[in-house]
Structure formats: structure tokens, C-alpha cells
Amino acid sequence: MQFRRACRSLSWDLMHAWGLTRRAALSLAALLAGGAAVEARSRFAPWAESGFGSAEARQLTERDLYPKGRPSLPFSLDATVAFDQRTPWTQARAIRQLRKTAAIFEACGVALRDVTLVRLALPPEDRRIDTGLTDPVTGVPPTVARLAARLPAGAAYPAAFLIGRVAGSASLAVSYRPRLEAETTAPYFNTAWIAYQSHWLPRRDERYSPLAHELAHLLCRCGHTETAQRHLLHSARNFLSSGVLPDDCKRIQDSPLLYVNN
């Protein structure tokens, strides 16, 4: 009888302990979930030093850029990519372009390293750049000069802006690079401007990326090349592809915007 009472008492003690442990585990799980939710909400933090009133930024992780892991490559590239949330551009679409860019540049031995993704809320007058209206001295549209000047001093270059429209030419994207070695100080140098239509434009090669195209212009400091084969920097839209010509790869690798990995 005493033995049964002892067993029953032990059983209740165990059940009580299990209940406390389970409640503690559930509380811990709830706490962690709450922390994850807070982290998810705060992944975009105010870009305090920028001239953009409502800009928020987050540092992309290796998994964001390379779901299967970042490859070990001889060169690295840091960059800033800003998208206007008042256009069809979204965080997911921006990351999709970056992943395509990472895969394309991998063929040239270049890995994306530190990429800051910035969410902007641009006013209507800044959602469109007109390449037909440029400053007579710089050759740069006023909107480009104005927005680029708002980038904080510590922003990584090249800097790409995913915006509403690019008007004034048949192109859906444009970039501005130094023409001379000494031209490096203007904030619009080494910037790219890409209209949202370029993301949806049907392509022969689904791996092609307009972001990679414009960044390649900035890295190699070169224009388009017309060849019989399709490639990243072809002058004809129907001949654009994810492939990079060996000469263009060499120019990209010589870019002062790259870091040499040890």
C-alpha cells in the first residue's frame, strides 16, 4: 500500500515537473518566435545618414545572394541597391536580380560580398529619369544628379537604383561611369538606373539580368559590343544573354571597384 502511494506520488511529481517543463518550453518558443518576428520587422533599419527622408536599409546575407553558399572566387564586389517601393519593384524582385547577377559574375571570378539593399519611397517627380533632359556640362539628367547626391558618404559603389521609368531613349536602363581616370568624385559616377519594365521584359535567356548588364558597364568601363553571338553587353536587345565575353571578363576583373581576395 505504501509502495503504491509512493509510486502514485512519484507519478504526480513527474507529471507536475513535465507540465512545468512543457510550459517553460512553450514560453521559450513563444519568446523566440516573438524575437524572430521583431527581427523580421526590423531587418530594414532607417538609413539615418542618407538624404532620403524615409529610406530604410538592410545588409543582405550570404543566403540572400547565394542560396547554395557563396563560392570561393578571386574577386569580390560590394554594392548598394536601392528600390522604390512606390513602383512595382519589391524586395523579392530586387533580390532576384541580384541572384542572377551573382551567377553571371561568377563566370568572371567575381563574388558579391557586402550588398546593402535600400527601400525608398520616392516622390512622383523622382520616379522617372529623362535621358533627353541633361545638364549641358555633365551630360547627366538632373534627377540622377539629385538622387545620387543623397547617398550617404559610406555607401558602397557601384550603386544601382531600381526606379519607375527611364525616358528619353529606347533603353530601359542607363548607367554613368567616369570617362577619364581622374573622374571619380561626382556622386552619380558608378551609378545605374533601371526601370521596372526591364524586370518583366521577355528574354531569350531567362538567366540574363539588366542589373548585371549595367553593373558590368560600370566595372569594365566599356560600352556595348556587337558580335555574332549573344552575350551580356551586346548592343542589340535580342542578342542579350547571361554569357560574358572573355575580353569583357578581363576588363571587369581590372576594375578599381573590385576587391582582390586573399
Domains of the chain: 45-260 (3.40.390.10)
C-alpha span between 189 and 141 (Å, rounded): 12
For residue 132, give the amino acid letter: G
**pLDDT tens-digit profile, the chain (262 residues):** 444 444 444 444 434 444 444 444 444 444 444 443 333 334 677 787 788 878 999 999 999 999 999 999 999 999 999 999 999 999 999 999 999 999 999 999 999 999 999 999 999 889 899 998 899 988 899 999 999 999 988 899 999 999 998 988 767 899 998 876 556 678 999 999 999 887 767 777 789 999 999 999 999 988 888 887 888 989 888 888 899 999 999 999 999 999 999 8
What's the pLDDT at 238? Answer: 83
> What span, in angstroms and rounded, lies between the C-alpha atoms of 250 and 252?
5
Cβ neighbors of 2 (< 8 A, separation 6 or more) are none
How much is the pTM?
Answer: 0.80
CA distance 173 to 175: 7
pLDDT of residue 259: 97
The answer to whether the bond into 158 is cis (omega within 30° of 0) is yes
Q: CA–CA separation, 92 vs 189, rounded Å?
A: 27
pLDDT at 24: 43
Report residue 173: phi and psi, to 5°.
-155, 155
